[in-house]
Chains A and B, each alone.
Chain A
Amino acid sequence: MPLSLDEHLGVHAAALKLRARRTELLAANLANADTPGYRARDIDFKSALAAANGAASGVHLATTQRGHLGATGVTGVNGTGSPQLKYRVPLAPSLDGNTVDAQLEQAAFARNTVNYQATLSFLGAKFRGLMTAITGQ
Chain B
Amino acid sequence: MRGTLSDRMGAALLMAPLLLFLVLAYAWPFLGVVKWSFTLPTPGLGQYHALLTDDLVQSVFIRTLRIAAIVTLISVTAAYAITVVWVRGSPLQRVLAEFCILVPFWISVLTRAFGWVALLSNRGLINTWLQSIGFISEPLTLVRNEFGVIVGMSHFLIPFAVFPLASAMRSLDERVLLAARGLGSSRMRTFWTVFVPMTRSGIIGSAMITFVFSLGFFVTPAILGGGRSVMIAELIYLRIFQSPDWGLGAAISVVLVVFVGALMALLFRYVKPKQLV
Asked if A and B bind, the verdict is: no
Hey, which bits of chain B sit against chain A, CB under 8 A?
A: none
Hey, which bits of chain A sit against chain B, CB under 8 A?
A: none
